[in-house]
Structure 1
Amino acid sequence: MRHTAELDKDRTFAAKLGDRGLFPHLAPLVYVNHAGISPPSRPVRLAMIALLDDYAARGAAAFPAWFAQRARLREKLGRLIGAAADDIALVQSTTRGLTDIALCFPWRPRDRVIVFEGEFPANVTPWQRAAAMFDLEVVFLPLGGFADGSGSGLARLEDELRRGARLVAVSAVQFQTGLRMPLAAIGALCRAHGAELCVDAVQAVGATPVDVEAAGVDYLACGGHKWLMGLEGTGFLYIRRERLPALRPAVAGWLSHEDGVSFLLQGPGKLRYDRPIRQRADFVEGGNLNAAGFAGLEAAVDLILQIGVERIHEHANRFLDPLEEALRERGWESLRAADPSLRGCALGVRPPGGASVVELHRELTQLGIACAIPDGVLRFSPHWPNALDEWEQVLLSTDEALSRVRKG
C-alpha cells in the first residue's frame, strides 16, 4: 500500500480565501484562534510526512535535499517581509530569535532599552535578562496614544529617545488588541536618535503586511505557528546586514562556522576549531534544526504567498468588521483601533456586565468556537481559510454563551 504522502507528492495545492477544504481534520465549527496556534493544513502535514519518509528510506543521504529545502524557505520568508534570503536565519521561536539578539547585541554598561507595557512576555523577558547580565536599564512606556490617533504614543517615545536609548523593542501587532503599531514612524524616530529597532512580528507576518526596509527595522523575530500557519518549534530571525559586524556571536555553535561541515565530507585534516563565524544572519543556527517542522513551514508559506498578505489582511478585517459592529450594539467593549491602518487581524473585546471571560470561553468552546482569552480579553482572530459569513455563527454562539453564563 502506498503512503498518502507518496500519492500526493507531485500535487499542487491551491489556497482559496474563505475555503477550509485544506483542513479536513479541523474539528471546531469556526476556528478564530490563529493569533494563538494555527492548525496545520493538509499540505503542511504531507510535507512533514514526506521528509520523515525520505529519512526513513535513505537516512543521512536524505540530508542534502532537505538542507536545500531550508534555503528555499529562507528566500520565501524573506519575501514576506521584504528581505533577502541571506538576512534570514531559521530559529525555533520568536523567543529564541529575540534572545539571540539580546545576547549578541554590543551592549555597553548603563545602556537603555525601551519596551512597552502590555507586550507579550516573549518581547520583555529577553531584555530583562540582558539587563541583568550586561548592566542595562529597561524602560517601560505605556501603549496609550498609539491606537487613538492622537500621536501621543510617538511623542512619548521620542521624549524617551532624547534621553538616550540603544534599542527599542516592540511588537508589530499587539497580541491582546490586534493594534498594528506604526513601525515606519517608530523606525524613523529610532534612526533620528541613534537607536536600533527590534520587532516581535509573530502577530503580523503571514496576515499583516510587514516591510523591514520601509520601516527601518534592524532585527525581527517571528514564530511559525500563528499567522504563518506552520507548527510550534519553527520560526525565523531577520538581521539587517549592516548590523552584523557589531554583533557578538555569543550564541554560535559548531554549525555557525564557515565551512563548518567540511571535516565530515572532505577527508582527513579538515577538523579545525579556528574557522571564522559566518557574517550572515544564520550564524545563530548553531546546531541541527527542526527539519520536519521547517518542511511543513514551507508548505504553509507557499499557501500564503499564493494568496498574498495584503489580500489576507483585507479578508480577515472584512470578517471582523460586522462582528465588531454587532458586538458593540450588544454592549461589548471593543479594543480594536478605529483607524483601519492600525489594525492587524484580531478583534479583542470585553463582555458587558462584567461577565467572566473564562466562563464565556468555556461555553464558546463547547459551542464549537475556537478563540482565546489573553489576559482577560476575548479575542477572535480569523485567517484566510475562514469564510466571511462565519462571523454570523460566532455572533450567535457568543450570544448563547453570554446567556448561559448569566444564567449560571
Structure 2
Amino acid sequence: MRHTAESASPREFTARLGDRGLFPHLRPLVYLNHAGISAPSQPVRLAVIAYLDEYAKLGSAAYPRWHAQRLRLRDRLGRLVGATGADIGFVQSTTAGLTAIALCFPWRQGDRIVLFTGEFPANVTPWLRAAELFRLEPVFLPLDGFRTADGDGLARLEEELRRGVRLVATSAVQFQTGLRMPLAEMGALCRAHGAELCVDAVQACGAVPVDVGAAQIDYLACGSHKWLMSLEGAGFVYIRPERLAALRPSVAGWLSHENPVSFLLEGPDRLRYDRPIRQRADFVEGGNVNAGGFAALEASLDLIDQIGVAQIHAHANAFNDALEPALVERGFASLRSPDPARRSAMLSLLPPPGIDVILLRAALDDLGITCATPDGALRFSPHWPNAIDETEQVIYSVDEALRRLRG
C-alpha cells in the first residue's frame, strides 16, 4: 500500500524554507548531513515510482517520454550553473565527470596541474592518474590562505601560474571546512596566465550560487545526492563550448557518435562505426544513463527552484549563525570562515579538548542528530527543510552528548 501522499504529482508539492513536511519518512529529529547524502523528499520518491511504473507498464515504449524528460533537465541544469543545456553532459557522479575531463584533456608531457591539499579525493585521484598516464607534474598548494579575502591564497596561486600551469582543479566548496573558494578571482587569474579552471561543484550546487560564466570556469562536475537533494548515481558535467574542439574523446562510447541510434530506427544498412564523435558536452554519455536517477533529479530541482539557491544559501547561514556561537561557547573551535563571502552552507568545528569526535558523532546520532565527521571535524550541513529553531535541539543534544562522554 502506498503512502497517502503518493497520490499526488511531484509538481503539486510546495517547498518552504524551514519546513520538512515533504520528508514524512525521515526519522532523525534533526537531519544535518546534506553535505554527505540528502534524504529523498516525497516528490523525489514519486518521480522514481512514476518512472518505474511507466517502464513496468510499457517497456521500451516508455523510453521517448523519459528521453524528453532528460532533455528538459539538461536545460535546467545549464541554467542552474549559468550555462545552456548544450553545455551539459550526464555522468554517473562527480568522480566520473572529473575523470572524463582528466582523460580527455589535451595534455602535453610536462604540463603542470595545480591541486590543493585538503581536497576531497574525488578531485585529486583523477588528476594524479592523468599525471601518471601523460607524464604531468602535479603541484599542491595549501588552502589556509583562502580562508579570508586578505589571505595569501590567491597570491600563491598566481605565483604558480606565472611558472606555467595548464590546469587548476579546485572544489567550489571544501568538504571538511565548508570554505567557499573565490572562483571568480581564481578564474580571472587562470585566464590571465593561460591556464584552464576545473571545478568540483558537488558541495555547492543547490545551496551555493554557481555561475560558470562569471567565474570563467572551463569545466565543472557535480553529483546530485548532496545539496541537489536527489539520488546517488546521477550527475553532470559542464564544458565551456570553446574547449570542446581540443578535447580528445577518450571516454567515448557508442552513444557518443553523431546519430548513434539511426541503425536501430531507420532500416537496413545504417550500421557504421565511422560516425564522428559529437563536439558537445554530451559526448561523455557513452552508454545508457541512470534514467531513474535523472527523473529524481528533476523532481528535486523543482523544489530548489521554487525557493532559489541564493535564498537557500542565506537560510543555511542563518541556521549556522544561530548554532556556531553556542558551540564555540562550549569549547568547540569553528572552522567556518569569518568572511561571509567565503561561507558555504556548512558549519564545521573541532571538538573540545579531550573529546573524541567519532564518539561524539555517535552520541549525537543516538540522540537523533545526524551530522558527519570529515577528517576529524564535526560537520553540520543544513538545507532548506531545516528550521532555524532546530538549533535549540542540536544544542541540547550536544550538551547531553558531552555529558555522556565526560562521564
Q: Bin the TM-score by the shorter chain.
A: over 0.9
The question of whether the paired residues in 1 share the 8 Å contact of 2:10 and 2:299 is answered with: no
Task: Identify the residue that residue 192 of structure 1 maps to in structure 2.
Answer: 192
RMSD (Å), alpha carbons? 1.3
Which segment drifts farther, 39-48 or 145-154? 145-154
3-state DSSP of counterpart to 1:149: coil
Partner Cα distance (1:208, 1:309) in 2: 6
Correspondences of 1:40-79 after superposition (within 5 Å) = 40-79=40-79
The question of whether the paired residues in 2 share the 8 Å contact of 1:70 and 1:294 is answered with: yes
Partner Cα distance (1:173, 1:400) in 2: 31
The question of whether the paired residues in 2 share the 8 Å contact of 1:358 and 1:373 is answered with: yes
Partner Cα distance (1:397, 1:6) in 2: 33
Partner Cα distance (1:353, 1:277) in 2: 57
The question of whether the paired residues in 2 share the 8 Å contact of 1:178 and 1:346 is answered with: yes
Partner Cα distance (2:297, 2:326) in 1: 35
Partner Cα distance (1:296, 1:13) in 2: 14
3-state DSSP of counterpart to 1:317: helix
The question of whether the paired residues in 1 share the 8 Å contact of 2:10 and 2:43 is answered with: no
- Go from structure 1 to structure 2 and tell me whether the alpha carbon gap of 1:3 and 1:154 turns closer, same or farther (over 3 Å shift): closer
Cα drift, residue 2 of structure 1: 8.8
Cα drift, residue 151 of structure 1: 3.2
Q: Which amino acid aligns with 1:27?
A: R
Partner Cα distance (2:3, 2:340) in 1: 46
Partner Cα distance (1:374, 1:260) in 2: 43
Task: Identify the residue that residue 395 of structure 1 maps to in structure 2.
Answer: 395
Identity %: 71
Q: Which amino acid aligns with 2:230?
A: G
The question of whether the paired residues in 2 share the 8 Å contact of 1:364 and 1:401 is answered with: yes
Segments of 5+ residues of structure 1 without an aligned counterpart are none
3-state DSSP of counterpart to 2:181: coil
3-state DSSP of counterpart to 1:114: strand
1:316 aligns with 2:316: yes
Cα drift, residue 331 of structure 1: 1.6
Partner Cα distance (1:5, 1:253) in 2: 40
Cα drift, residue 6 of structure 1: 7.6
Cα drift, residue 11 of structure 1: 5.3
The question of whether the paired residues in 2 share the 8 Å contact of 1:97 and 1:221 is answered with: yes
CA offsets, 1:62-115, max 9 Å, x none? 001000100111111111110100000111100000000000000000100000
Correspondences of 1:213-252 after superposition (within 5 Å) = 213-252=213-252
Partner Cα distance (2:210, 2:322) in 1: 25
Correspondences of 1:14-33 after superposition (within 5 Å) = 14-33=14-33
The alignment covers a number of residue pairs equal to 407
1:145 aligns with 2:145: yes
- Go from structure 1 to structure 2 and tell me whether the alpha carbon gap of 1:71 and 1:4 turns closer, same or farther (over 3 Å shift): farther
Segments of 5+ residues of structure 2 without an aligned counterpart are none
Cα drift, residue 7 of structure 1: 3.0
Correspondences of 1:201-280 after superposition (within 5 Å) = 201-280=201-280
Task: Identify the residue that residue 96 of structure 1 maps to in structure 2.
Answer: 96
Which segment drifts farther, 214-223 or 392-401? 392-401
Partner Cα distance (2:92, 2:186) in 1: 27
3-state DSSP of counterpart to 1:214: coil
Task: Identify the residue that residue 132 of structure 1 maps to in structure 2.
Answer: 132
Partner Cα distance (1:247, 1:157) in 2: 25
The question of whether the paired residues in 2 share the 8 Å contact of 1:9 and 1:50 is answered with: no
Partner Cα distance (1:10, 1:334) in 2: 38
Task: Identify the residue that residue 159 of structure 2 maps to in structure 1.
Answer: 159
Q: Which amino acid aligns with 2:294?
A: F
Partner Cα distance (1:68, 1:5) in 2: 26
Correspondences of 1:304-343 after superposition (within 5 Å) = 304-343=304-343
Partner Cα distance (2:193, 2:2) in 1: 61
TM-score normalized by the length of structure 2: 0.98
Partner Cα distance (1:9, 1:215) in 2: 37
Cα drift, residue 8 of structure 1: 2.2
Task: Identify the residue that residue 7 of structure 1 maps to in structure 2.
Answer: 7
Task: Identify the residue that residue 373 of structure 1 maps to in structure 2.
Answer: 373
The question of whether the paired residues in 2 share the 8 Å contact of 1:5 and 1:49 is answered with: no
Partner Cα distance (1:4, 1:102) in 2: 46
Q: Which amino acid aligns with 2:394?
A: V
Correspondences of 1:103-118 after superposition (within 5 Å) = 103-118=103-118
